[in-house]
Amino acid sequence: MLTALGADAVPVRRERELDRIAGLVIPGGESTVMDKLSRAFGLREPLRARIAAGMPVYGTCAGLIMLSDRVLDALPDQQTLGGLDVTVRRNAFGNQTDSFETDLDVALFDGPPVHAAFIRAPVVEEVGPAAEAISVLDDGRVVAVRQGTLLGTSFHPEITGETRFHEYFLTLL
């Protein structure tokens, strides 16, 4: 998605690669594995420092979990990178077969609603005073937040071809 929007996107797997980036997208996947790998490869503390220093980061689904300050239903030793003053609940919508798509209004964007795909997605249970909810489901559950240069969504905009979140992220760089 970032490359299609004209950005020079590079993978980051080692601490030395952090010097090559101005911002980071943490994708969907499995947050417990991301946590373990970030610690095993010595990325957790350097990433926490860069986030605290204001590096723009966009987390989708598991990436939102990684950016969250607090996680419900986490494994006992699970850690996050933190930075977003939110509490999230892992797998809040159920398992893979409970995945769904819906249209969302997003406070950041004019134009048509965002068509969003939720796959074993987290939900934001609590938005702290430093963060801002930017999209909610019809039932009021928060599914997109921002705080300074941090952006998080429970869903995967890249799956539905939605570019506005990534475009917004690039303006933060």
Active site residues: 61, 156, 158
User: Which of these, 95, 40, 84, lies nearest to 60 by C-alpha position?
Assistant: 84
Contacts of 61 (CB under 8 A, 6+ apart): 27, 28, 29, 119, 120, 121, 122, 153, 154, 155, 156
Euclidean distance between CA atoms 171 and 173, whole angstroms? 6
Q: How many residues does the chain have?
A: 173
User: Which of these, 90, 117, 115, lies nearest to 105 by C-alpha position?
Assistant: 115
Euclidean distance between CA atoms 112 and 76, whole angstroms? 41
User: Which of these, 58, 80, 78, 57, lies nearest to 69 by C-alpha position?
Assistant: 80
Residue in the block written with tokens 């797997």: 13
